């Protein structure tokens, strides 16, 4: 199996291309002031993940409530103004430093498709941040469910088939073992794990998977994936 065997690359966006962990940490420490500085990354991520489980709605609106939960747990300002500031910061999460160039390179070789748990509003912001690399996109607004629900992956499989691309021509690229790699492989996708946290312990702001699924391809950055495609 070679990377060049595929015609379509589907992408998890938040966590693979968009650096949401830095976005969350920077916003919490900025809004939370001196008190927030004493918390480690994992001490911030724990109530963030709890909050996201409690408020799983559209990311362009639910993150204010996620912040309020986090703030109460960590004794940070939990007023509406602070929550609104966090919500706005979500739409401004940065791209990883290699994402934009890597996607430009990959676009020369493949059809690029976003498969994101962000809603259409939030994805529009991230697509702008990334320089509009995608030929097509699927959000939770269209699927009616988030990953790791298998129905999300079935929806995309049918959508790409309608455009003329059967599943064996699709490579799913993602950093999340929990949301993407495990379920995608179980649903018959060929998978490429971008292990963004290869030099860090734990799973950070992403829920822990029940087990780590061995992917078909494995890189630690988007640059490394683009290099491999171009034989560099």
12 a catalytic residue: yes
Q: What does each C-alpha distance from 140 to 14, 115, 201 come to in angstroms?
A: 13, 9, 29
Asked if pLDDT for residue 232 goes beyond 90, the answer is: no
75: left (phi over 0), alpha (psi -120 to 50) or beta: left
Asked if pLDDT for residue 80 goes beyond 90, the answer is: yes
Asked if pLDDT for residue 107 goes beyond 90, the answer is: yes
Please identify which of the residues 12, 19, 119, 180 carries the catalytic annotation.
Answer: 12
Contacts of 170 (CB under 8 A, 6+ apart): 6, 7, 8, 9, 10, 157, 160, 189, 190
Which among 5, 3, 10, 7 is positioned nearest to 155, based on CA atoms? 10
Distance CA 167, CA 171 (A): 8
> How confident is the model over 132-147, as a mean pLDDT?
97
> How confident is the model over 106-124, as a mean pLDDT?
98
> How confident is the model over 188-206, as a mean pLDDT?
97
> How confident is the model over 177-188, as a mean pLDDT?
98
Q: What is the DSSP letter of 14?
A: B
pLDDT-derived band at 1 (thresholds 50, 70, 90) equals confident
Predicted pLDDT at 3: 97
């Amino acid at each position: 199996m070679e990377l060049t065997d595929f015609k379509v690359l589907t992408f998890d966006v938040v966590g693979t291309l968009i650096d949401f962990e830095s976005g969350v940490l920077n916003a919490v420490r900025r809004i939370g002031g001196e008190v927030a500085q004493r918390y480690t990354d994992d001490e911030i991520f724990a109530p963030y993940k709890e909050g996201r489980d409690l408020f799983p709605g559209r990311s362009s609106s639910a993150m204010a409530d996620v912040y309020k939960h986090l703030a109460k747990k960590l004794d940070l300002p939990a007023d509406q103004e602070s929550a609104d500031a966090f919500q706005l910061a979500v739409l401004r999460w940065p791209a990883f430093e290699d994402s934009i160039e890597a996607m430009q390179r990959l676009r020369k070789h493949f059809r690029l498709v976003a498969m994101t748990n962000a809603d259409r509003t939030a994805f529009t912001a991230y697509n702008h941040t990334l320089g509009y690399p995608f030929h097509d996109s699927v959000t939770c607004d269209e699927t009616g469910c988030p990953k790791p629900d298998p129905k999300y992956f079935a929806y995309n499989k049918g959508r790409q088939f309608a455009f003329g691309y059967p599943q064996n021509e699709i490579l799913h690229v993602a950093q999340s073992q929990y949301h993407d790699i495990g379920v995608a492989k179980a649903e018959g996708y060929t998978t490429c794990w971008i292990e963004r946290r290869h030099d860090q312990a734990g799973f950070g702001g992403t829920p822990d998977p029940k087990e780590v699924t061995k992917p078909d391809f494995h890189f630690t950055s988007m640059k490394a994936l683009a290099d491999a495609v171009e034989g560099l």
